[in-house]
Structure 1
Amino acid sequence: MNAIVIGADRLGNIPELLSDWNINITRHITGRHVAHQRKPHGLPRNTELLILFTDFLGHNVMHHFRNLALVQGIPFIACRRSTSCLAQSLECCFNQKTEESKCPNCPFRP
């Protein structure tokens, strides 16, 4: 699965955790540079997951990327930049057997 990561200057152990879930980071956008804060018109075609690190993003940048994911039907995870928080979010979104057990606020829940 191909993912775009938005937020955080350095990823630390995040790529290792994602590779354990067979998730490949295709692009990392820190969100700090002015060029990163310009609003793109869409996410790349091969994007299958959007990961937003909320403790390193401004509200407008996060809101814009989240809306892009919703419009394109791409699932997204918004969590703090820690391996434990990301692992918990991945478990909640991808490791559940029934639709009822997904996160209650998930926009992809039927």
Structure 2
Amino acid sequence: MSNQVTAVVVGADRLGNIPDLLNLHNIKIKQHISGRDPSHQKKTLQLPSGTELLILLTDFLGHNVMKTFRAAAQRSGVKVVACRRSVCSMKLALTQGGFCESCPYSGSKTH
């Protein structure tokens, strides 16, 4: 498989099937942050080094937490995808953001 995009996921306590979906889109979760820590609302945060994508699960985050992480992504030049915590919503957001599913036949000459 080609190089994976490294992502930080913010929101929700559990991710359920989200990691499997991200893997289909060639995205690897570098870190998952629940966003519950009150310091996430006030601090100037930095995303972990090597982060290429920030995924915000909007139905599990307050506006101030989202604003803080969006600002951190903007400072680092990291792309942001925001969606609800559902496989359908995330799949749509990733596709619209240019992260299409990896073709299982990408190495095949008959494809």
TM-score, length-scaled by structure 2: 0.79
For residue 95 of structure 1, report the CA deviation from its aligned partner. Answer: 4.9
Secondary structure, aligned partner of 1:18: helix
Q: State percent identity of aligned pairs.
A: 52
Partner of 1:2: 6
Query: Hey, which bits of structure 1, 4+ residues long, moved more than 6 A?
Result: none
For residue 94 of structure 1, report the CA deviation from its aligned partner. Answer: 1.0
Q: Is residue 33 of structure 2 the alignment partner of residue 15 of structure 1? A: no
Cα RMSD, aligned residues only: 1.6
Whose radius of gyration is greater, 1 or 2?
2
Q: Is residue 81 of structure 2 the alignment partner of residue 74 of structure 1? A: no
Write the distance in 1 (CA, Å) between the matches of 2:14 and 2:42: 20
Partner of 1:105: none
Residue pair 2:11, 2:35 contacting (<8 A) in 1 also: yes
Write the distance in 2 (CA, Å) between the matches of 1:60 and 1:81: 18
Secondary structure, aligned partner of 1:11: coil
Residue pair 1:30, 1:36 contacting (<8 A) in 2 also: no
Write the distance in 2 (CA, Å) between the matches of 1:21 and 1:94: 10
Distance 1:88 1:53, change over 3 A: same
For residue 46 of structure 1, report the CA deviation from its aligned partner. Answer: 0.7
- Structure 2 gap segments, 5+ residues each: 101-111
Partner of 1:33: 37
Aligned residues: 96
Residue pair 1:29, 1:36 contacting (<8 A) in 2 also: no
Secondary structure, aligned partner of 1:91: helix
For residue 43 of structure 1, report the CA deviation from its aligned partner. Answer: 0.8
